[in-house]
């Protein structure tokens, strides 16, 4: 399974969106965190930023929707230009219907699990999703420490996906850095979101290269 690096623009200089996206042109995806101040206690941005990112960069956009009522809003993110829309298990009402709608529009459908949410309810419907996002911080803010306690869930998910012969990506998001990416790769994640570790680095482009190398070295 390919290793994918998806820098989060959460802590980038959003006033210079085009330049900030340019710094990560060597990455695979640009992770855009949408927060509504209801699902999480923080407010970021919505559809216009997806449209702008699409306009100013050719990197595929990975929309992480930390919002209430994703059933209503997620398709609009694909319509706005995101290649992938990830909605939270804790917020969605009809995950199968929503995933099918996203896929029907040509997008990738992602299911996000907050740290305390288990995968048991989704095991039989894993094939409905292109990606499962295992949050390694409580959603809402960048710069929080990585929760190693989520790794057994990643390991179990990797086993289930492989046993079923699926191509579903496992994404980890939150506190991923040069110090923590190895554990996530060893547990079986293949898609790594890194916000602070990229945008607070002196050289964001180099940080992406370094993270990719570490993830490759530790994945199996």
Residues of the shown chain interacting with Co ion in the complex, contacts defined by CB under 5 A: 33, 64, 173
Judged by beta carbon distances under 5 to 8 A according to partner kind, the member of ligand 5RP, Co ion, none in contact with residue 175 is ligand 5RP
Q: Is 62 a catalytic residue?
A: no
Which tokens sit at 163?
């046993």
CA distance 209 to 198: 10
Nearer CB in complex with Co ion: 64/153:
64
Q: Are 28 and 4 in contact (CB under 8 A)?
A: yes
Select 62 or 130, whichever has its Cβ closest to ligand 5RP: 62
Contact indicator for 32, 59 with CB cutoff of 8 Å: no
**How many CA atoms lie within 13 Å of 54's alpha carbon, on the beta-carbon side?**
16
Q: CB under 5 to 8 A by kind: which of Co ion, ligand 5RP, none does 176 bind?
A: ligand 5RP
33 catalytic, yes or no?
Answer: yes
Binding site for ligand 5RP (CB under 6 A): 8, 10-11, 31, 33, 64, 66, 137, 139-144, 173-176, 193-197
Pairwise CA distance, residues 213 & 208, whole Å: 9
Task: Compare residues 39 and 100 and give the one whose CB is closer to Co ion.
Answer: 39
Minimum distance of ligand 5RP from residue 100's CB (angstroms): 24
Other CB atoms within 10 A of residue 133 CB: 30
Look at the block and give the residue holding tokens 């991923």.
176
Catalytic-role residue among 33, 36, 62, 210: 33
In the complex, residue closest to ligand 5RP by CB = 195
């Amino acid at each position: 399974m390919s290793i994918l690096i998806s820098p989060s623009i959460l802590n980038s200089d959003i006033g210079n969106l085009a330049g900030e996206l340019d710094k990560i042109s060597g990455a695979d995806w640009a992770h855009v965190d949408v927060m509504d101040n209801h699902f999480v206690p923080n407010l970021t941005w919505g559809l216009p930023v997806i449209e702008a990112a699409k306009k100013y960069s050719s990197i595929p956009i990975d929309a992480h929707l930390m919002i209430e009522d994703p059933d209503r809003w997620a398709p609009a993110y694909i319509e706005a230009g995101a290649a992938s829309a990830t909605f939270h298990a804790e917020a969605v009402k009809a995950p199968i219907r929503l995933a099918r709608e996203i896929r029907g529009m040509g997008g990738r459908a992602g299911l996000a699990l907050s740290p305390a949410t288990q995968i048991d309810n989704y095991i039989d419907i894993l094939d409905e999703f292109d990606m499962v996002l295992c949050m390694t911080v409580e959603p809402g803010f960048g710069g929080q420490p990585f929760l190693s306690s989520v790794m057994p869930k990643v390991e179990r998910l990797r086993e289930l996906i492989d046993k079923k012969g699926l191509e579903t990506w496992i994404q980890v998001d939150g506190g991923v850095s040069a110090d923590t990416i190895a554990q996530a790769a060893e547990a079986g994640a293949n898609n790594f979101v890194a916000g602070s570790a990229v945008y607070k680095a002196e050289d964001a482009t180099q940080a992406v290269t370094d993270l990719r190398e570490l993830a490759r070295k530790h994945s199996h």
